[in-house]
């Protein structure tokens, strides 16, 4: 034991006396022993400023890790005995300074088969058993395969040194030539031609957020500009504000604003930017990869000078979705756009050991590409549990890669859920050995909620997980809906080169058959509502059953629940749900859904199977209005009935205009502004033409 301790101390002393890459140190053994060793290490003079993530007094809870992201530390201790979070691990690794250490405290190898995440009960869906953490076993397997990780146990010490170059001092505020170019590019967007946005991409630690702050300070000081910065979370812009404040010492600073007598930098959430007019000389969008592409498109249309900064591999979300979904739109709409990529790390040295380990361990690198034919001969579904995928690392990597590309918010925590959550399965569509598509599915409801069904239906109780079961039960105040057996499709992803070929619909068709055989009562999903997504689900006979009243703060979209009944009892409840939804939906359009996208509002309206009859009086009123002998104010109810009548016509701009005015309750000025009309006279003329076309199409 003394020899092991001496070997570790010798390695540590050498490390603190030299110039080395950041590194992960695994301290593995009994809980008290690992904590004692970490505390002893922190007392070493070379440990510097330290952050301890744990559950003891004076330590920071794992759930509060985002509050630390604007800070930097010489040593970060992460105590797995206090709780495990994959996203927190990779995020906090980015707060370790150049040459620093990240300590991971965990059970001995022989104890891993029985180690349960202490926070699993707060993460797992109610009623499901809490088992040993497959994610921790996965993580430790990756450690055993990496020579760059130092491992310290009571029985042995293994560790190598990886020398790093000493950073050279840079004149001025920019830490690298790349960052200086980025600052110049941002300033050019603000001062140059309009509608020529800049995209800055980088992995973490390359100084892109700092570049935003440096450029903002320069613009405020030299050009008296008012600058708005936005991001998915206020924490994401902390570094930008820190850099701007250093260069503007005279500024008054509050939580979300930095103000001088010449100009200001202020943070505004994405949903506020889209809901309210916010004047800005330039808009800076940080962590753009974690913002849905439809919202980025709206920001691009609303502001003429925009800079998008995107992390390629992030703990908040994936930059690859940004590449696939937003950049093609940018090329088409703003041909003068520019791009800069920052590759040189600033907070650590090139070839950094710590970054390389987490990229590999949490599958943040692209999976090896494999080409699959676009001709399919009966591809089949395969179902996998977390442990089954863990035993096939190559397949797990490919599946996770698909999910990352498909959804902007896929994060390392999703990898942990796939491996650890007993109610989650991965369903793949494969042509022999070729992975074509994948779904993340979750079992909900069942008899696990039977004893709580009544308080859940009355809104008196809410348990972890079971999103569909609890929402629908509370929506109708029906206990029986809580204990139906649901299979919720959490994510669905198709390979990039195989999209738009019907594979998603094919998966849902096969899933319907197999879920029925597995005795599920219903399939369902919940997603941010958009016209394209709604059409996809409706094509596979999923019915809208509930639309969330509030917009999601990150996406600005309303959450839509869709359902496809499989069993006879679920079919009865689906009829009740859709009937109730369409009874209330038209009346909520002028309140909760006033800002709902007009084409989406119309698409949902078309799904109503209860036709609205145009009686003879309404038909005469509309006929008179269409030829100009009845004023608008006297036929409003007839117009509303016409809009809700199920006549099959394209959702043209005039139909959307009618939706805004007649059902969503927009005033004439707002409708005219959105539609580019001069005033009420032109609006009435458009409505008259629309009514005539509708009446002509009526049998």
What DSSP letter does each residue of 462-504 carry, written as one string? Answer: --SS-HHHHHHHHHHT-GGGTTSEEEEEEEEEE-GGGTTSSHH
For residues 126 and 128, what is the distance between their CA atoms, to the nearest angstrom? 6
Q: Which residues contact 242 (CB under 8 A, 6 or more apart)?
A: 70, 210, 213
**β-bridge pairing 23-28 and 150-152:** parallel
Q: How far apart are the two ends of the chain, measured CA to CA in Å?
A: 91
Q: Quick one: which of 508, 503, 504 has its CA closest to 487?
A: 508
In Å, what is the CA distance from 513 to each residue of 435, 464, 509, 565?
20, 29, 7, 12
Q: Quick one: which of 442, 443, 450 has its CA closest to 473?
A: 450
Could you list the residues known to form a binding site for ATP, using ranges.
Answer: 179, 347
SS3 1: coil
DSSP 324: I
Could you list the residues known to form a binding site for acetyl-CoA, using ranges.
Answer: 492-494
φ, ψ dihedrals at 304, nearest 5°: -85, -15
Instruction: State both tokens at 680.
Output: 């009420």
Could you tell me which residues are beta bridge partners of residue 584? Answer: none
Among left, alpha and beta (phi > 0; psi -120 to 50; other), residue 362 is alpha
For residues 363 and 17, what is the distance between their CA atoms, to the nearest angstrom? 33
Could you list the residues known to form a binding site, using ranges.
Answer: 179, 347, 492-494
Among left, alpha and beta (phi > 0; psi -120 to 50; other), residue 16 is alpha
φ, ψ dihedrals at 546, nearest 5°: -160, 135
Instruction: State both tokens at 388.
Output: 């089954």
SS3 241: helix
SS3 340: strand
Q: Quick one: which of 590, 652, 640 has its CA closest to 614?
A: 640
């Amino acid at each position: 034991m003394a020899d092991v301790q001496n070997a570790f101390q010798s390695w540590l002393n050498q490390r603190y006396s030299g110039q080395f890459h950041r590194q992960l140190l695994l301290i593995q053994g009994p809980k008290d022993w690992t904590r004692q060793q970490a505390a002893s290490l922190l007392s070493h003079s070379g440990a510097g400023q330290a952050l301890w993530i744990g559950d003891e007094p004076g330590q920071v809870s794992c759930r509060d890790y985002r509050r630390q992201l604007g800070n930097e530390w010489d040593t970060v201790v992460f105590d797995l005995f206090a709780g495990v979070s994959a996203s927190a691990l990779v995020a906090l690794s980015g707060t370790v300074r150049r040459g620093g250490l990240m300590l991971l405290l965990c059970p001995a190898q022989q104890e891993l088969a029985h180690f349960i995440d202490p926070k699993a009960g707060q993460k797992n869906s109610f009623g499901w058993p809490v088992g040993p953490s497959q994610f921790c076993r996965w993580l430790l397997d990756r450690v055993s395969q990496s020579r760059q990780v130092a491992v310290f146990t009571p029985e042995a010490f293994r560790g190598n040194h990886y020398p790093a170059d000493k950073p050279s001092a840079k004149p001025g505020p920019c830490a690298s030539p790349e960052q200086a170019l980025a600052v110049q590019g941002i300033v050019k967007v603000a001062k140059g031609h309009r509608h020529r946005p800049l995209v800055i991409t980088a992995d973490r630690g390359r100084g892109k957020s700092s570049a935003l702050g440096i450029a903002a300070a320069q613009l405020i000081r030299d050009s008296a500009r008012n600058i708005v910065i936005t991001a998915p979370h206020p924490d994401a812009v902390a570094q930008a504000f820190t850099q701007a404040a250093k260069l503007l010492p005279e500024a008054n600073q509050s939580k979300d604003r930095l103000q001088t007598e010449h100009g200001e930098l202020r943070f505004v959430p994405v949903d506020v930017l889209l809901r309210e007019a916010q004047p800005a000389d330039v808009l800076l969008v940080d962590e753009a990869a974690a913002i849905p592409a439809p919202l980025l498109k709206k920001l691009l249309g609303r502001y003429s000078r925009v800079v998008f900064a995107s992390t390629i591999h992030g703990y908040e979300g994936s930059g690859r979705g940004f590449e696939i979904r937003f950049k093609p739109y940018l090329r088409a709409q703003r041909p003068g756009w520019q791009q800069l990529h920052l590759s040189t790390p600033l907070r650590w040295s090139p070839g950094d050991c710590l970054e390389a380990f987490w990229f590999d361990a949490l599958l943040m690198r692209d999976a090896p590409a494999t080409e699959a034919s676009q001709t399919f001969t009966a591809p089949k579904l395969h179902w996998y549990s977390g442990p089954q995928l863990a035993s096939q690392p190559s397949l797990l990597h490919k599946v996770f890669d698909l999910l990352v590309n498909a959804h902007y918010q896929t994060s390392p925590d999703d990898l942990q859920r796939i491996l650890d959550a007993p109610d989650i399965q991965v369903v793949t569509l494969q042509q022999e050995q070729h992975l074509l598509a994948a779904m993340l599915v979750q079992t909900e409801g069942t008899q696990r909620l039977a004893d709580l069904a009544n308080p859940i239906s009355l809104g008196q109780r809410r348990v972890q997980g079971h999103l569909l079961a609890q929402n629908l039960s509370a929506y109708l105040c029906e206990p029986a809906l809580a204990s139906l057996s649901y299979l919720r499709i959490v994510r669905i992803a198709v390979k990039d080169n195989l999209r738009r070929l019907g594979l998603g619909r094919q998966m849902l068709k096969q899933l319907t058959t197999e879920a029925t055989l597995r005795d599920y009562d219903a399939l369902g999903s919940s997603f941010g509502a958009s016209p394209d997504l709604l059409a996809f689900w409706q094509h596979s006979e999923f019915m809208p059953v509930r639309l969330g009243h509030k917009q999601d703060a990150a996406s600005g979209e309303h959450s839509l629940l869709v359902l496809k009944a499989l069993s006879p009892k679920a079919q009865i409840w689906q009829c009740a749900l859709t009937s109730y939804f369409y009874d209330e939906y038209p009346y909520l359009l002028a309140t909760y859904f006033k800002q709902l996208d007009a084409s989406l509002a119309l698409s949902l309206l078309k799904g109503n199977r209860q036709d609205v009859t145009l009686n003879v009086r309404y038909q005469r009123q509309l006929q008179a209005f269409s030829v100009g002998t009845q004023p608008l104010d006297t036929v409003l109810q007839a117009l509303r009935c016409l809009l809700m009548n199920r006549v099959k016509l394209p959702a043209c701009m005039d139909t959307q205009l009618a939706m805004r005015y007649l059902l969503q309750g927009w005033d004439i000025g707002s409708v005219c502004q959105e539609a580019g009309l001069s005033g009420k006279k032109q609006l009435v003329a458009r409505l008259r033409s629309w009514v005539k076309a509708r009446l002509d199409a009526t049998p």
